[in-house]
Amino acid sequence: MATLNDPWKMTHKVPSLCPQYTDQSTAQSPDQSTDQSTHALFSYDTTSALPNTILGFGGAFTEAASLNFQTLSEGGRTRVVELLFGKGGLGYSLGRTHINSCDFSVGSYNFDDEDGDFELKAFGGVQEKDGLTIMPFVRLAMSALKAGWGEDLKLVASPWSPPPWMKGPSREEERKGLEHATDMLGSRGGTCLRDGVGVGSKYADVWARYMSKWVSEYENSGIPIWAITTQNEPEFAAPWEACSFNTSTSLAFVTNFLGPTFRREHEGVKILGFDHNKDHAPTWAQELGDADGNLDGIGYHWYAGGMDRLLDGGVGTPNLHKLRSLSGSRTVLGTEGCHCPATGYTGGDVDVAWKRAERNAHAMLADLAAGSEGSIEWNLVLDKVGGPNHLGNVCDGPIVAMPDRAKAEPAMERLPAFEKAGEGKDIVGDGLSLDSLVHHGGVKKDMELGVLTQPMYWVAGHFTRYLREGSRATKGIVEGRRAFATSRGRGGDNNNARVGFEATFFPCEGSSRQQFVYDGKKGEVKTRDYSKEGRGGYVCLGGRNDEGGFGGVLLVKCDENLDKGEDPVSGKFYIREDTKVIQERGGGSCLGLKELDGEGHAIGVRGGSQLVLEECRESSSSMVYDKKRGEMREEGLDVCLTTGWPFLQGGSFINKDGDTVLVILNEAEAEVGVVIQNGNMLLSLDGHSIATVVVAK
């Protein structure tokens, strides 16, 4: 029997959003007289599950999240715990927190500020700090998860920075004659640790033991730590709490200090390496290996790494396939992801809030298909502007705390006292009624408690509620069958036509995301840019494979859009009349397809293989440009060149009970019909909607 979980079939055009979670209706059987070839097809194979199992999903218990949680009334706090961890909510089973402060703290802090305290005799204050903020929130989450789902919370802990006395001075501090850093912000290169990571390093040794003592404090308080990461974002000497490492210094730190310390004092705690973005994840995995048996896996973040935050969650999927192949049986886990800047509530634009939710859904589908074992959202709860963050780096989250709008016992101030980034700023959401905020994902009875669930919250439930620990991704892909070719605007504006996205291949769906123009005069291959920055112009295929870590051809500025002084970066191609090969002008490289590692894991090589510039060879002739359809096709695999990923996506899974779980996402404006496996079901998906179908074994 197949059931469609009706409250999960969502669209931002419908004002009544998901007030409860129930299985309500049966997906319809298609009329056999209907021409099913006009619909997309979701084909899957439940006999081909990936070997790694899904661990779960969750969010971060930062100081910011915990303080916002505490601003709510008892009723509001109870509701948040149920929404995030309870049987009637998401059932989050993973969590993350920070060792010492992070940027989402109200200020820097650590638990031993005594210079030279190598015995850590002054270590203390965890109960007085985290014990009053983070720990109570975690305990409530643990209880709700156990009561509702019978599961234990897996909590990951990550360090941002050691105490200043353990860190080497910056160049400026060194010029002043200082022997160590003056604060926890920023980092010198190589490694932040004062005397490096060699076998005799006193500071690397004490830092490893410091982390171990922190874990003991939590465990002695009844909060087990499932895993630690070696360092949050080691490649980024951030303006907030940071500690840089490269692959060699990280390997030495883990092998010489962190691994032996934890194997001796916390043998059951896993150690995850890297904990940074997908661009360099395969390199780190290859160079770290298992660190002489001291590493249990790799954590990764979803950020693109540059200034364009609209790329976050949308790049690096081919690299994740590489990472999975390199990691073998070791854990691969998404340890952080969020949208910045600010919350959807701050700007009050319902389309922005929903597009962020769609990006989350895409990332979860793509990552799970590549063999990821789950993902952890960044802050669980934020205030209306996306803080507090003591560096002003405000971001978004699944739940917004707005205690001033609670019906009973409302807070007196618009923002809590700890929020400084929002002072004097216009918060558009404050001008919207609770009825209007229903369109933004809110449920009125929850908002009357000061709790706003944003669209990304509801999207998460399509995965978290049905893919419990032990579930596996199975082979599955959506065949678009050019379902959008006759729809208005070919499914709508292509918001993936953006500089920095990867050019990939997917089954042809006939949408604007697969529409390209070959300019024979300039030699450019381009697609329409619908963004405000693009002003109706174009973005082009790049003229080289990316050297920053992604490896394939990216979308770049066309020559006509270059700023003064910028060098051309777009590729210049011609189509050879004899072979129809698409070759670079004045060079020996041709456009070709590079298959995903691991045979594409759950999605297969037809689901996101990269466009690359490669040496021209006979197989290059299977790449053709269809001017009439506006498509660039790789005919050997029958796939079309795509800006990032198609509008229509799907994931196939086997849950721990043996049922088949199908998650289908439609990012297009247009409604589309999807035939499920051999024509047994026909699902009609509204524009901008997502659905979960459970097929009982």
Query: Are 571 and 684 in a shared domain?
Result: no
**220 falls in which pLDDT band (50, 70, 90)?**
very high
The alpha-helical segments, DSSP class H, found in 197-311 are: 202-220, 247-253, 259-265, 281-288
| Tokens linked to 154 | 């897996």
Supply φ then ψ for residue 376, to 5 degrees: -120, 115
Residue 73 lies in a domain: yes
**CATH number reported for the structural domain that contains residue 627 in this entry:** 2.80.10
Going by C-alpha positions, the residue among 498, 476, 516 that lies closest to residue 653 is 476
| Tens digits of residue pLDDT in 619-656 | 677 889 999 999 999 999 999 999 999 999 999 999 99
- Choose one of 619, 643, 667: the last residue of a domain: 643
Per-residue pLDDT, 325: 98
C-alpha triplet 371, 376, 381: angle, nearest 5°: 160
- Per-residue pLDDT averaged across 534-562, rounded? 92
**581 falls in which pLDDT band (50, 70, 90)?**
confident
Residue 612 lies in a domain: yes
- Cα(275)–Cα(98) distance, rounded to whole angstroms? 13
Give yes or no for a contact between 552 and 598, defined as CB atoms under 8 angstroms apart. Answer: no
Per-residue pLDDT, 19: 32
- Choose one of 643, 665, 683: the last residue of a domain: 643
Query: Are 45 and 73 in a shared domain?
Result: no
Give residues with Cβ within 8 angstroms of 252, minimum separation 6: 197, 198
Q: Minimum mean pLDDT among 197-201, 208-212, 348-352, 514-518: which range?
A: 348-352
CA-based end-to-end distance of the chain: 8
In terms of DSSP bridges, do strands 399-401 and 573-575 run parallel, antiparallel, or are they unpaired? unpaired
Ramachandran class of 265: left when φ > 0, alpha when ψ lies in -120 to 50, beta otherwise: alpha
Domain count within the chain: 3
Per-residue pLDDT, 422: 75
**Is the bond preceding residue 15 a cis peptide, omega within 30 degrees?**
no
Query: Are 568 and 437 in a shared domain?
Result: no
Give yes or no for a contact between 590 and 613, defined as CB atoms under 8 angstroms apart. Answer: yes
Query: Are 428 and 368 in a shared domain?
Result: yes
Q: Which residues of 623-655 are buried (b: 16+ CB within 10 A; e: fewer)?
A: bebeeebbbbbbeebebbbbbbbbbbbbbbbbb
User: What SS3 class is residue 343?
Assistant: coil
Per-residue pLDDT, 637: 94
Per-residue pLDDT, 36: 66
Residue 5 pLDDT exceeds 70: no
Query: Are 436 and 539 in a shared domain?
Result: no
Residue 492 lies in a domain: no
User: What SS3 class is residue 475?
Assistant: strand
Question: Quick one: CA torsion of 675, 678, 680, 681, rounded to 10 degrees?
Answer: -10
- Cα(36)–Cα(30) distance, rounded to whole angstroms? 8
Strand order in the sheet with 472-479: 25-26, 2-4, 689-695, 660-666, 648-654, 472-479, 40-49, 672-676, 681-685
CB atoms within 10 A of CB 223: 23
Give yes or no for a contact between 139 and 223, defined as CB atoms under 8 angstroms apart. Answer: yes
Across the strands, what pairs with 525? Answer: 518
Residue 615 lies in a domain: yes
**25 falls in which pLDDT band (50, 70, 90)?**
very low
| Tens digits of residue pLDDT in 476-525 | 999 999 999 998 899 999 999 999 999 999 999 999 999 999 999 999 99
Residue 12 pLDDT exceeds 90: no
Residue 28 lies in a domain: no
The alpha-helical segments, DSSP class H, found in 375-469 are: 434-437, 444-447, 455-464
Q: What is the DSSP letter of 35?
A: -
Question: Quick one: CA torsion of 548, 554, 559, 563, rounded to 10 degrees?
Answer: -50
Per-residue pLDDT, 152: 99
Per-residue pLDDT, 678: 67
* Chain centroid offset of residue 684 CA: 27
Residue 491 lies in a domain: no
Residue 24 lies in a domain: no
Query: Are 522 and 618 in a shared domain?
Result: yes
Query: Are 123 and 160 in a shared domain?
Result: yes
**Domain, as residue range, for 633:** 498-643
C-alpha triplet 111, 133, 464: angle, nearest 5°: 115
Give yes or no for a contact between 335 and 383, defined as CB atoms under 8 angstroms apart. Answer: no
Query: Are 288 and 324 in a shared domain?
Result: yes
Per-residue pLDDT, 679: 64
Query: Are 507 and 460 in a shared domain?
Result: no
- Cα(365)–Cα(57) distance, rounded to whole angstroms? 13
| Tens digits of residue pLDDT in 437-483 | 998 999 999 999 999 999 999 999 999 999 999 999 999 999 999 99
- Cα(370)–Cα(391) distance, rounded to whole angstroms? 34
**69 falls in which pLDDT band (50, 70, 90)?**
very high
- Cα(388)–Cα(395) distance, rounded to whole angstroms? 9
Supply φ then ψ for residue 525, to 5 degrees: -105, 120
The whole-chain average pLDDT of the chain stands at 93
Going by C-alpha positions, the residue among 641, 509, 672 that lies closest to residue 573 is 641
Q: What is the DSSP string of 528-541?
A: E--STTTTT-EEEE
**Is the bond preceding residue 388 a cis peptide, omega within 30 degrees?**
yes
| Tokens linked to 687 | 């524009």
Query: Are 424 and 369 in a shared domain?
Result: yes
Residue 26 lies in a domain: no
**38 falls in which pLDDT band (50, 70, 90)?**
confident
Question: Quick one: CA torsion of 641, 645, 647, 649, rounded to 10 degrees?
Answer: 120
Rg of the chain on CA atoms, in Å? 25
Q: Which amino acid is at 694?
A: V
- Cα(63)–Cα(80) distance, rounded to whole angstroms? 16
Residues of the chain with pLDDT > 70, as a percent, come to 94
Across the strands, what pairs with 664? Answer: 650, 691
Query: Are 233 and 246 in a shared domain?
Result: yes
Per-residue pLDDT, 408: 86
**313 falls in which pLDDT band (50, 70, 90)?**
very high
Residue 362 pLDDT exceeds 70: yes
**CATH number reported for the structural domain that contains residue 388 in this entry:** 3.20.20.80
Query: Are 270 and 325 in a shared domain?
Result: yes
Going by C-alpha positions, the residue among 81, 58, 248, 233 that lies closest to residue 155 is 58
Going by C-alpha positions, the residue among 333, 462, 438, 459 that lies closest to residue 396 is 459
Q: Which of 37-41, 549-553, 692-696 has the highest mean pLDDT?
A: 549-553
Q: Which residues of 419-429 are buried (b: 16+ CB within 10 A; e: fewer)?
A: bebbeeeebeb
Residue 135 pLDDT exceeds 50: yes
Give yes or no for a contact between 517 and 664, defined as CB atoms under 8 angstroms apart. Answer: no
Going by C-alpha positions, the residue among 160, 157, 67, 161 that lies closest to residue 113 is 161
Residue 13 pLDDT exceeds 50: no
